[in-house]
Each structure stands twice: as structure tokens, then as C-alpha cells.
Amino acid sequence: MTAGSRPAEPAHPSGLLVVAEVRWAGLATVAFLAGLAARALGGPVVLAWVLFSICYLSGGWEPALSGVRALQRKILDVDLLMVVAALVAAAIGQQLDGALLIVIFATSGALEAVATQRTRDSVRSLLSLAPEQATRLGADDREEVVDAALLAVGDLVLVRPGERVGVDGLVVEGTSEVDQATITGEPLPVTKDIGAEVFAGTLNGTGVLRVRVLRATLTRSWVGPVRASTVGPDRVVIPKLFVERVEQRYSVAMIACTLALFLVPLAFGATLQATLLRAMTFMIVASPCAVVLATMPPLLSAIANAGRHGVLVKSAVVMERMAQTTTICFDKTGTLTEGTPRVAEVRLVGGDGMDEPTLLSLAAGAERPSEHPLARAIVAAAAEAGLVVPPAQAFLAIPGRGVEALVMGRSVQVSRPAVLGACAVGEMVAALESSGHTAVVVTVDGKAAGVLGLTDRLREGAGDSVAALAALTGRVPVLLTGDNARAARLLAAATGISDVRAALLPEDKMAAVHELQGDGAIVTVIGDGVNDAPALAAADIGVAMGRSGSDLAMSSADAVIIRDDLATLPALIGLSAHAKRVVVQNLVFAVTAITVLVAIDLLGKLPLPIGVAGHEGSTVIVGLNGLRLLSARAWRRAAGI
């Protein structure tokens, strides 16, 4: 994929008929219509009877089965009630009404299944965009990024800080803490050094590891950066929404009322047939089918739609909450900027016989194991200058500060000026920073040897996205960066951001998020780096950049912008707001329909067919209303295009 390419459509969009629920609902409908025709045309009674029975079976077996299973776990399923109601209707001679109930009911189930299927399709196609990769080390330490599936036993791979371990293997060099929660469920990271075994799918901390591949990758399950979290193509895990939590109690209360409505009049001598009919009508119209269907299809459809446009939202709750954001916090390097900085200036402190090429190659040597965009820039600058990048030993990354390592027997640090006090090099740093550079100081054997000035470009359209987000949330976004204040201000001004919090360490970014939350803000953080992970986790909603982002950032986030397109962020918030409006519309409509029908049934007389049509009709309308969020138009509207 290249930047600016068209949003990918799902690789294999499934047709409607692929969804089993749609096929069964279709069969039920056809059988119902045929039965209706047979009756209307005066065909044999047996024929209509057989056709209606087919309708009952095809539309009702699945909800009946899952309802009984739920009952075994002491959960009362509304679907089961509907099947019971249809059977009772048939038993008291209202076969047609029961069949209608089954048909519409199966249709609304199919609508929900379609929304879920679309979500899976889009998640699957997003995941297939990002095959798992690993950095293979060749002879003389040459790095090569390869598909993890192509690695062979015995290959040597490099695992950078914050990267997901791509293979099962043995550590042959380096020390790091590795988060194995995806495999063992153990929440605390485990320290790994030489001789320790690491597993594919676990998450590296701040150290660098060289790992010898132990097992062919084909024999293990693929665990990608996002699949390991809450969303996978086969399971969209959705924390219980409010509606689902009240559904149980409501259903039990409703059954109690139905029984009372049946037994009390009977005790006073009412006829069985009429009383049963009335109680059944009550149960049908009071069932919360439409309420249950009000929430999930719109949110799932919105997730599917976002997925088609390159945004992976990990759960329905995240989609629901997104629109409540009041403050957006941007990271700078790699998020607001392209994250491909260049070394623009090399300044020598002088003395010690140090020259520019030596300075640059020492710095590049120390930076090579790092995943940081600045590190990549320094290594690239050395390579461009035709320098040999020497190997590093005892590498240590300090997120938000810099790196240190032994290079050619010398102790080299490359880090932000503040760490060093910056007295000797203060003027060089100030000059570079005032002209918009990110300055890093190279220290060799404890002495500042030089300063590198790096520049990065703003992402295209960053200013427009910032303006759109400001309009949506009512507050201009905040910039949280580990870089220096001078350069950060210059860059922020170009996007319209004035609230700049600079020189933040990872824990400071998190503290800034907590502070905003303390003032009542609902905070969405968007970032890419290992240094952003604590802030992403602390935020109400964390969004990670998918291409430039580190695996650690992606697994800490609630949503991932797969192709790093910032314009999708305002669209996502717009879509979430739209989904919420649809949910509210649906709930109001569903509750009104139930109230009106119940009132008519209790106070006057509601014929069963009208009850069924009213109840199930409102359910289907609610379901269809939710599916509107699947349309390309919904996205365009949210994105303002």
C-alpha cells in the first residue's frame, strides 16, 4: 500500500447469502408466502399446514436451540420467548399469525447477523493488509525485513524495543522485559536474557534482543498486533452494553406479567382460549426485541464502515464512546509529522580529534537497534554518507530520552539535550531548536562530542484535520511531545495548535492525560511511539498510527489508523456521533412502539395479527435503520466530503 492510495474495499466481501441467518430467514419467508398463497387460493388445508410448518422450522430452529442452551445456563433469551409465542399461537389455531411472527423475527435476526458479518469482513481485510514481519539478520549483520512466515529454524532475528516478537526462539544476545500476557495471561513483563526462550506474539519492552528461531513459523498460530487484542476476524468481543444488561430483568418481569394476565382472569372464570390469546399478544408486544436490536447493528455497522476506510475500532463500546471526546491530544513525531525525519545538521563540539564522519558513524552504531524514527534517520544519514555503521553492544533504550550503547569500544549516548544538562553545547542546541530542528546530543565516553539537528515534515493535511477536530470537539487539540518546546511550538503553530506541552517523558504524557481528565475532559490520545503507550492506555480512547506506529502503541490503543491517514480521525468521531444518533432514534422508536402496543392490549383489545405486525415491524425498522451506517454515504457525511 502506498500513502494516499484509495481505501481498500474488503478483500472478499461476502454476499448476503453467505450469512446463514439470511438463508434461513429467506426460506422462512418463501414458505410463509407460499402458505399464504395456498390458503388464499383455497388449496388443500394440508398444503398450507406443511408450508407453514416449514416456515416455523426454518425460521425458528436456531433461536429455539440457542434459547434452550441459554436457559440451561439460567439465562432467559428473548428469542426463545418469541418461538414459544409462535408455537402457542399455532396451538390455539392462529397458525398464520405465529408464522408471521417467525418470519419477521428471523428477518430481524438476519439483519443483525449481516452487520456482524460486515464487521468481520472489514476487520479481516484490515488484518490481511498487515502480514507479520520480522527483521532477519544476515551475514555481517545486514538487516532484512521479511515475512515472518518465511523464516527458517536457525535464522537470527532482531527484535527492537516495543516490537512484537515475530517468532518462537532463543535469546542469543541482549536483555529486555517481555510482556507475555497474550500467551500466558501473566500481566507482569518477564525479564529475558541470553538463553531464555521467547514466544511469537509476545511484546518486547525497551531492550533489544537477538533471537535464534527455534520453530518453523507455520506450526504456530499467527498472532498479529491487533488480533491479539480484543478484535479478531472470528470474534468481535463486545463488552456488555447497557441495553443487554437490563434485558434479563425486563424479560423475567415480562414473563411474570404474562402469567398474571393469563392466570388471574382464568381464576375469575374467563375462557381459556381468549385469555391465552390476550396473554400471548401481551408477551409478543412487550418483548424488547426492537430495544435489543436498537444498539448493536448501528455500532457494528459503523465499525465495519470505519474498517473499510482504514480504521480498526476494537469494540462497540469504543465506537459508542468516541463521539463523547472533548479533548484530543496529539503526539508530535510520527503522528502529526510524517515520522521520517532527516538529519539536516551535524555540529561538532570540537577537540578530541573527533570528525563528522566518526561522530555520525558512532551515533548510527548506537541507534541501529532502536525503533525510534530519529534513530532510523541517523542510521540513514550515515548510510547516505557512505559510512560503515559499526555494531553496538550493551544497547539500552530509554523511551522519551534516547539510547546508549558500546560502539567500537566507546560508550556512546544519543539523547535529548535536557538529560545532559546541555551546558557546553547549549548554544548549538538553542540555535538548532529555534530554527525548528529536533536537536539530539551525541556523547562519547561521557563527553558531549556533537549535536545533530533533525527535521521532520508535517503530515499532509494535518492542519485540516486539526481544524476539523477542533470544530467537532469544541476545543483545539493539545500537543504532547517529548521533543523540545521551541521546535514543537513552531510546528504546532503551522497546524493551528497553541496548547503545546513539550519535553515530556512517557509518564509525563500520561500525567497530562490524567490532568485533563481531572478537569472533566474526555480525552482521546493519538500517538505512534513506545513513549506514547502509557498515555494511550490512560486515555478514554487511545488511537495508534498503524504504519509508523510501534506494536506496543497499537496494542495499547482502542483503535488503529491503519494507513496513518489523520483525516480519518474526524471522520471516525463524526461516524460515532451519527451511530449514537441512530441508536437514540432507535431506542425512542422501539420504546414508543412497545408502550403503545402494550397500552392498547391492556386497556382495549389488540388483535394478535396487529400485535405481531406492530411489534415485529418495529423490530425490522430498527434493524434496517442501524444498517444505514454501513453505507459509503454515512462515511462521506462523517468525513465532510
Q: Is 443 in the site for ligand ADP (CB under 6 A)?
A: no
Q: Given the rule CB under 5 A, which of 328-336, 409-417, 465-473, 515-523 is the region that contacts Mg ion?
A: 328-336
Query: In this structure, what C-alpha cell is assigned to residue 252?
Result: 423475567
Cα dihedral sign, 63-65-66-68: positive
Q: Is 331 in the site for Mg ion (CB under 5 A)?
A: yes
Q: Given the rule CB under 6 A, which of 64-72, 314-322, 325-333, 590-598 is the region that contacts ligand ADP?
A: 325-333
The least distance separating ligand ADP from the CB of residue 318, rounded to whole angstroms, comes to 23
**Could you give the C-alpha distances from 306 to 46, 300, 314, 495, 578, in angstroms and in order?**
50, 10, 11, 25, 12
Q: How far apart are CA 531 and CA 235, in angstroms?
A: 30
Q: With contact defined as beta carbons under 8 Å apart, do 640 and 570 qualify?
A: yes
The least distance separating ligand ADP from the CB of residue 414, rounded to whole angstroms, comes to 4
611 binds, among ligand ADP, Mg ion, none (CB under 5 to 8 A by kind): none
Question: For ligand ADP, which is the closer residue by CB, 24 or 330?
Answer: 330
**Near ligand ADP by CB under 6 A: residue from 370, 465, 548, 576:** 370
Single-letter residue type at 579: A
Q: Is 333 in the site for ligand ADP (CB under 6 A)?
A: yes
Residues with Cβ < 8 Å from 38, sequence gap 6 or more? 44, 47, 48, 51
**Near ligand ADP by CB under 6 A: residue from 31, 293, 375, 582:** 375
**Near ligand ADP by CB under 6 A: residue from 483, 540, 558, 616:** 483
What residue number has its CB nearest to Mg ion? 529
Q: How far apart are CA 253 and CA 250, in angstroms?
A: 5
Q: Is 334 in the site for Mg ion (CB under 5 A)?
A: yes
The least distance separating ligand ADP from the CB of residue 250, rounded to whole angstroms, comes to 48
* Positions in 525-554 near Mg ion (CB under 5 A): 528-529
3-state SS, residue 599: helix
Cβ-count burial 9-20 (b if 16+ within 10 Å, e if not): ebeeeeeeeebe
Q: How far apart are CA 328 and CA 476, in angstroms?
A: 8
Q: Is 542 in the site for ligand ADP (CB under 6 A)?
A: no
How big is the site for Mg ion, counted in residues (CB under 5 A)?
Answer: 5
Question: For Mg ion, which is the closer residue by CB, 313 or 545?
Answer: 545
Q: Is 486 in the site for ligand ADP (CB under 6 A)?
A: no
* Positions in 412-431 near ligand ADP (CB under 6 A): 414-416
Question: For Mg ion, which is the closer residue by CB, 335 or 473?
Answer: 335
Query: In this structure, what C-alpha cell is assigned to residue 28?
Result: 422462512
Q: Is 369 in the site for ligand ADP (CB under 6 A)?
A: no
Question: For ligand ADP, which is the closer residue by CB, 109 or 402?
Answer: 402
- Determine how β-strand 311-313 pairs with β-strand 559-561: antiparallel
**Could you give the C-alpha distances from 445 to 104, 409, 419, 448, in angstroms and in order?**
77, 10, 15, 8
Q: How far apart are CA 330 and CA 467, in angstroms?
A: 13
The least distance separating Mg ion from the CB of residue 480, rounded to whole angstroms, comes to 9
Q: With contact defined as beta carbons under 8 Å apart, do 513 and 458 qualify?
A: no
Structure-derived torsion over alpha carbons of residues 608, 613, 615, 616, reported in degrees to the nearest 10: 130
Q: How far apart are CA 364 and CA 380, in angstroms?
A: 8
Question: For ligand ADP, which is the closer residue by CB, 62 or 345?
Answer: 345
Length of the chain measured in residues:
641
**Near ligand ADP by CB under 6 A: residue from 83, 359, 381, 440:** 440
Q: Is 529 in the site for ligand ADP (CB under 6 A)?
A: yes
117 binds, among Mg ion, ligand ADP, none (CB under 5 to 8 A by kind): none
**Near ligand ADP by CB under 6 A: residue from 374, 396, 526, 638:** 374
Q: How far apart are CA 407 and CA 459, in angstroms?
A: 34
What residue number has its CB nearest to ligand ADP? 482
The least distance separating ligand ADP from the CB of residue 418, rounded to whole angstroms, comes to 8
Question: For Mg ion, which is the closer residue by CB, 59 or 162?
Answer: 162
Question: For ligand ADP, which is the closer residue by CB, 116 or 370?
Answer: 370
Full 3-state SS string of 442-486: EEECCEEEEEEEEECCECCCHHHHHHHHHHHHCCCCEEECCCCHH
Catalytic residue numbers read: 331
Question: For ligand ADP, which is the closer residue by CB, 179 or 483?
Answer: 483
Q: Is 119 in the site for ligand ADP (CB under 6 A)?
A: no
Question: For ligand ADP, which is the closer residue by CB, 534 or 614?
Answer: 534
- In the numeric block, the cell 539478520 is attached to 137
Q: Is 163 in the site for Mg ion (CB under 5 A)?
A: no
The least distance separating Mg ion from the CB of residue 527, rounded to whole angstroms, comes to 6
Q: Is 438 in the site for ligand ADP (CB under 6 A)?
A: yes
639: region left, alpha or beta (phi > 0 left; psi from -120 to 50 alpha) = alpha
* Positions in 546-605 near ligand ADP (CB under 6 A): none
Q: Is 402 in the site for ligand ADP (CB under 6 A)?
A: yes
For 328, the enclosing helix (H) or strand (E) is: strand 327-331
Q: Is 456 in the site for Mg ion (CB under 5 A)?
A: no
- Backbone φ and ψ of 522, nearest 5°: -100, 115
Q: How far apart are CA 280 and CA 447, in angstroms?
A: 86
Could you report how far apart the first and last alpha carbons of the chain are, in Å?
23
Q: Is 372 in the site for ligand ADP (CB under 6 A)?
A: yes
Nearest to 289 by CA among 323, 243, 333: 243
For 112, the enclosing helix (H) or strand (E) is: helix 95-129
Footprint of ligand ADP (CB under 6 A): 331-334, 367, 370, 372, 374-375, 400-403, 414-416, 438, 440, 481-483, 529, 531
Which residues in this chain contact Mg ion in the complex, by CB under 5 A?
331, 333-334, 528-529
